[in-house]
Amino acid sequence: MKRKAIYPGSFDPPTNGHLDLIERGSKIFDELIVAILRNPEKDPLFTVNERRQMLESMTGSFDNVSVDTFHGLTVDYALRVEAQAILRGIRAISDYEYELQMALMNRKLQPGLETVFMMPAARYSYLSSRLVREVAQLGGPVDCLVPELVAQKLREKMDVANKFGDAAASGQEPETRAADRAPAERAVDRKGQERVTKERKTKSRKRKS
């Protein structure tokens, strides 16, 4: 029987740590599906399609790795695709409690399904999508944290944020109403607007003094 696993997650955005784990997983499973959770309650930076495209490009060289999306319970998805295991990464002891809780809940829901934990390379042990987003949004370099393609996409997102920020600063109407844009764009736009408001306040304080 072929050993098939899913590697579920948000991947917003995928990082070098994810890629490291995918490579390790691809060596111990015959087939590995990187499964992006479609979660309508979250306001991600990247759309599911953008994340899918990035992951497909990152994993193109692995013959036994594919990328898919799912919603609902991870265990239901695993059953649907006939996987026997869920792959998850543990970077540090701080990950363990949450991962253990999730693994035991998944076992309760589906006793036949195993969770397999793997550790990424130590050099990625501090790396998370959340920190990558934060560094990128605050203008820091992310080149060694994510594959080049992802770094490029992050730069594009930040350019959009700056563009909308500049438009607001010069008193122009943004090209599109915020509500009409994708959530990810709205998220970066919010940051741009916040920065502009801050700059305006600082300028007006300087003028007063």
Under rule CB under 6 A, residue 110 binds ligand PNS: no
Q: Are 15 and 42 in contact (CB under 8 A)?
A: no
Under rule CB under 6 A, residue 105 binds ligand PNS: yes
Under rule CB under 6 A, residue 106 binds ligand PNS: yes
What is the 3-state composition of the chain as percent helix, strand, coil, each rounded to the nearest 5? 55, 15, 35
Q: What is the DSSP letter of 40?
A: T
Stretch that binds ligand PNS, among 43-51, 99-107, 138-146, 190-198 (CB under 6 A): 99-107
Stretch that binds ligand PNS, among 6-14, 52-60, 112-120, 140-148 (CB under 6 A): 6-14
Q: Is 125 exposed, middle or buried (0-12, 13-18, 19+ CB in 10 A)?
A: middle
Q: How far is CA 127 from CA 55, 81, 131, in A?
A: 17, 29, 7
**79/74 Cα distance (integer angstroms):** 9
Q: Are 70 and 38 in contact (CB under 8 A)?
A: yes
Closest CB 200 distance from ligand PNS, rounded Å: 36
Under rule CB under 6 A, residue 73 binds ligand PNS: yes
Length of the chain: 209
Build a one-symbol-per-residue string for 74-93: x at contacts with ligand PNS by CB under 6 A, - elsewhere. Answer: x-------------------
Cβ closest to ligand PNS, residue 126 vs residue 199: 126
Among 10, 53, 57, 84, binds ligand PNS (CB under 6 A): 10
Cβ closest to ligand PNS, residue 41 vs residue 63: 41
Q: Are 139 and 158 in contact (CB under 8 A)?
A: yes
**6/82 Cα distance (integer angstroms):** 10
Type of residue numbered 150: V
Among 48, 90, 102, 116, binds ligand PNS (CB under 6 A): 102
Active site residues: 18, 42, 91, 129
Q: Are 62 and 98 in contact (CB under 8 A)?
A: no
Stretch that binds ligand PNS, among 4-12, 114-122, 181-189, 196-204 (CB under 6 A): 4-12
Cβ closest to ligand PNS, residue 72 vs residue 176: 72
Using CB under 6 A as the criterion, which residues of the chain lie in contact with ligand PNS when the complex forms?
Answer: 8-10, 37, 73-74, 102, 105-106
